[in-house]
Amino acid sequence: MSPTAIDLPRGEVAIHPLKRGPSARIEPASTQPPQRPPVFPLLSSLARALFPPPVLAVQTPVTAILVGAGLRGTRYASYAQHYPDLVIVGVAEPNPHRRAAFADEYQLRDDHVFKDWKEYHGQILQCPRLADAVIVATLDNLHVEPTVNLSRLGYHVLLEKPMATRVEDCIELAEEVEKTGVVLGIGHVLRYSYFNLVVKKIVEGGYLGDIINIQHIEPFRLHSFVHSYVRGHWRNEKISTFALLAKSCHDVDLMHYFVGRKFARVSSFGSVRHFRQSQKPAAAKDINRCLDCPLQDTCDFSAKRLYMNGNTGWPVNTVSSTPEDMESVAHALRTGPYGKCVWDTDNDAVDHQVVNMEFESNGEDQGAPTGTLTMVAMSTGTNRRKTRIFGSRLELEADEEAEEIRLTDLQTLQTMVIRPHEDFDLPEIDLMSGHGGGDYNLVRHFVEGVRAHKAGLSTEGYVPSVRETLASHIFVFAAEHSRKTGVVQSVEEYLREHSREKSLEF
């Protein structure tokens, strides 16, 4: 594609037009190699192509049932509180406190409130469908059954990541949903953030030239990691799944999205380096619970300091369903996993991992792009990623923490800085701004995809195909296989070994 031909695909999120052009921040190179036709004047057209005036025609809204009213499910459902194109009409949630609170907040009819998806499924078998779609945000290992069974009844599905916790289940889910023809959206929210949409359009516009290499770093905020992956539900693969799938599958999806090629081979390395018994302080040697420990007031990871500090939001509301009741929180810490010493739990989730990848080439006489993904828990960051893409013409550096994208011409060394949230008049999305607007845009793309499907139109451009989504998941499983076995794994061979349909491709 010519660098000047940047057309916004149908279904891309509509963003307000240019506020202050990025061309205002071109930094001259300190030295000037031989000149050539400059690339940067072309980028002044990026704003016009990337951010056309928004068009949101209010049509008949899409109706949905929420299956799983936890943190992610309620976040997705909250879209309906601020935008008229989605209406929540029911909920299925086993926790009575969450179920009642959600039903009250959305003023749901009593006969549209269920204790779990099976109760809901049993009822809808006896009566007409209650909604156009379902939002499935159950625990990771409970994704397959509701998604497959409800899609067979014609429900479109917005499914929280990952698809499933076993590769065979991911393949089965993809095959079964594909047969039904319904819209399947996956919670790979990173590809929908405003920041990453800008990066994608720059890459897609051909400005970088041929992509040679991509590097992506996911710095996991330390105390978030301790909560979720040392003490929490994702601490042990046997009770949930491995860390790369649970935490970084949407980072893999993002790299796949940017490069736009299939994965070919992978190798990976990582381990539990820090949160292991050998690192336990001597003063806590024979103590397993923070509330019994002499270090409870000084330890950096003391459960007392982290959960009994007056906060009633996350993460305390995942420890107790009544976080405002200090006795309830204390009881949970004395009896549950969140009160255990971080050096003495049953955790096996890696606290650092590197994934090396090779993408497919376009032909035998062309080399293949490569990439690396690094996930690390020992970080002071706020889960803000950094991505560098090396092209044959430009180098791109995207820093979420600084909220800027730097483009450097390899020949002139001229650098341009784009700050999307300063340079472009973005919509006000504070009420649902998780992942840089990715949560909002994921739901919006899904809703528009369902609308298109109901109108008999193609859903291309709204949500990735089922096969594209499956490809990212297969790669993650292949990477974890490589980490455990030490082999350089062919992604295609890994798929063949685990697919019932030997002709399955993606």
Beta strand extents in 130-204 (DSSP E only): 133-136, 156-159, 184-186
> Could you tell me which residue, 41 or 428, shows the higher pLDDT?
428
**459 closest CA partner among 140, 133, 145:** 133
SS (H, E, C) 242-309: CHHHHHHHHHHHHHHHHHCCCEEEEEEEEECCCCCHHHCCHHHCCCCEHHHCCCCCCCCCCHHHHHCC
Largest pairwise CA distance in the chain: 75
CA–CA dist 140, 159 (Å, integer):
10
Least confident of 56-65, 117-126, 421-430, 448-457: 421-430
- Binning pLDDT at 50, 70 and 90, where does residue 457 land? confident
Residue 87: in which H helix or E strand, if any? strand 86-92
CA–CA dist 391, 211 (Å, integer):
4
Residue 448: φ, ψ to 5°: -65, -35
pLDDT of 364: 65
Q: Return the structure tokens found at 420.
A: 């999307």
- Binning pLDDT at 50, 70 and 90, where does residue 424 land? low
CA–CA dist 60, 364 (Å, integer):
50
Nearest-5° Cα angle at 17, 12 to 19: 140
For residue 371, give the 3-state DSSP assignment. Answer: strand
**216 closest CA partner among 372, 380, 396:** 372
pLDDT in tens, 52-99: 333 345 568 999 999 999 989 999 999 999 888 999 999 999 999 999
Q: Return the structure tokens found at 459.
A: 């859903």
Beta strand extents in 362-421 (DSSP E only): 370-379, 386-391, 394-399, 404-409, 415-418
Residue found by looking up tokens 């068009």 in the block = 55
Section 17-37 average pLDDT? 42
CA–CA dist 95, 116 (Å, integer):
9
Is residue 249 left, alpha or beta, with left meaning phi > 0 and alpha meaning psi from -120 to 50? Answer: alpha
Please check the confidence at residue 168 and state whether its pLDDT lies above 90: yes
Percent with pLDDT over 90 in the chain: 66
395-434 exposure pattern, b = at least 16 Cβ within 10 A, e = fewer: bbbbbbeeebbbbbbbebebbbbbbbeebbebeebeebeb
Least confident of 7-21, 210-224, 268-282: 7-21
pLDDT in tens, 309-360: 999 998 999 999 899 999 999 999 999 999 999 999 999 999 999 999 999 9
CATH numbers and ranges of domains, the chain: 62-182 (3.40.50.720), 277-339 (no CATH)
**Which distant-in-sequence residues (6+ apart) come within 8 Å of 453 by Cβ?**
156, 182, 183, 459
Section 6-35 average pLDDT? 38
pLDDT in tens, 349-378: 999 999 999 999 877 667 899 999 999 998
Section 26-51 average pLDDT? 45
Looking at residue 18, what DSSP letter applies? B
How many CB atoms are closer than 10 A to CB 487? 13
pLDDT of 400: 87
Burial class (CB in 10 A: 0-12, 13-18, 19+), 455: exposed
Please check the confidence at residue 396 and state whether its pLDDT lies above 70: yes
CA–CA dist 378, 359 (Å, integer):
29
CA–CA dist 313, 482 (Å, integer):
38
pLDDT of 4: 32
- Binning pLDDT at 50, 70 and 90, where does residue 35 land? very low
pLDDT in tens, 93-129: 999 999 999 999 999 999 999 999 888 777 776 677 8
Q: Can you give the C-alpha Rg of the chain in angstroms? A: 24
**272 closest CA partner among 226, 227, 314, 307:** 226
Least confident of 211-225, 330-344, 434-448: 434-448
For residue 447, give the 3-state DSSP assignment. Answer: helix
Please check the confidence at residue 31 and state whether its pLDDT lies above 80: no
> Could you tell me which residue, 111 or 51, shows the higher pLDDT?
111
- Binning pLDDT at 50, 70 and 90, where does residue 394 land? very high
Asked if residues 333 and 353 have their Cβ atoms less than 8 Å apart, the reply is no
Section 31-49 average pLDDT? 45
Please check the confidence at residue 25 and state whether its pLDDT lies above 60: no
pTM above the 0.85 mark?
yes
Whole-number average pLDDT of the chain:
85
pLDDT of 52: 39
Please check the confidence at residue 458 and state whether its pLDDT lies above 50: yes
